[in-house]
Chains A and B, each alone.
Chain A
Amino acid sequence: MIVSVASGKGGTGKTTVAASLTTVWDGPLVAVDLDVEEPNLHLFLRPTVEGREAAHLEIPVLDQSRCTYCGTCSDLCQFKAISVMGKLVLIFPEMCHGCGGCLAICPEKALSPGQRELGEISWGRAGGAQFLMGRLRVGEAMSPPFMRLVKAKLDEMLAASPGDAILDAPPGVSCPAVNAVIDSDVIILVTEPTPFGFHDFQLAWEAFAPLGKPMGTVVNRAGLGSKDLYGFCRDKGLPILAEIPFDRAIAEAYARGRVIADVSPQLRETFVSLRGVIRDLAGRSRPGEVAHA
């Protein structure tokens, strides 16, 4: 089972929920940080890193001696990454989406695969769980292709050691966020009942509902703001899976880098019970079902 922890608005507590769920999970698990622009899960889980590798996107490299300046490549490229002007070919690696079209279409085979570094993937262990994260290179604009590579690494880890995965997704409701959750079995939307939280929550629901995946809500900082969120969830049939109260002590514990499931027995119980309802929501009642498959 792959559980995505997502949100529309940033800072609602995605990482808090992902870290706490990891801490209370009761079967083989990979905790994955897919918020590759600003990965934070490691700050709370403090994993030991066992391996790291650079992740690359395939981009075209020109062999000038073969090029006839026919412009077929630049005509195809939808991202303005290749431009042919007279006898000058300009390649803009940072614009390339890595579709491979120019490499495949060049009639002279004048383009060969090169690389652009997207970021670094690292993995290791955090307590009883495996850990995986992607960290986008600063200055790199495109997170979705990098997230695909992090997810390919996850597939590899799950194939070698079957179990569940918890994905800490990026905030927002556009391509990176949808890309993050698209392959998961269940989506947990973390929100706060403030006007900003509720507004972005509705956008997130609109973005993720078409994926047709089981979805539920975790209300963080419950008690703050208004009740509008609850009415919306009722209307849309979105179950409230857990509520974490608005409490300065929780905010301070978070600010000190603590996993909030470890802050009090009540909070731990909240996440143990959340673990159960997530399994129910995904239609899998037995922990470790995937592990034994």
Chain B
Amino acid sequence: MQSFKFLLPIVVLTSLTVTAQSPTQYGVGRTPTAEEITQWDISISPTGEELPEGSGTADIGAQLFLEKGCAGCHGTNGTDGIAPRLVKRDVGVLENPWGYGRILPIRSPFATTVWDYINRGMPLGLEGTLLADEVYSLTAYLLYLNDVITDDQLVLNQDTLPDVKMPNEENWAQVPDWFPEEPRLRGYPY
């Protein structure tokens, strides 16, 4: 009886904890803290909902492009480096972004794709070191070089970036819904 009295409070505590977190079947793994999730989560939705506070302009971005070493690999003008070209070819027809070549995510319908890639993937060897302000400015500069925005003083931030009208905003194909055990394209025999 004595030991049973000792056990009782522990049982109650455990059940309380489980109720609070809603139980998993295997009870393996732990719950991350809110801080951990914030620190790990660098995904950026097309809505921009995860974009951090901060702001920048193409004017500042032009300076950063030199200071942060971008120009070292991509060339001073973003056209003549050993790393991929960052400026669209002069096709003269802004209405057909599919003629730009596969540069930046310039053909993405969302400016968030450009921001996200610079933030996660650049500069080579120093990925993840750019501050949010710097990413906004570099994004603005590259969009400016590609005529997507025309004002080098335009402030891009978490509110304005998702609203930037990309050349391909409408002109792209959604991937179809996927279901198991179905052909990859209905009506296509191959």
Q: Do A and B bind each other?
A: no
A residues contacting B by CB (< 8 A) are none
B residues contacting A by CB (< 8 A) are none
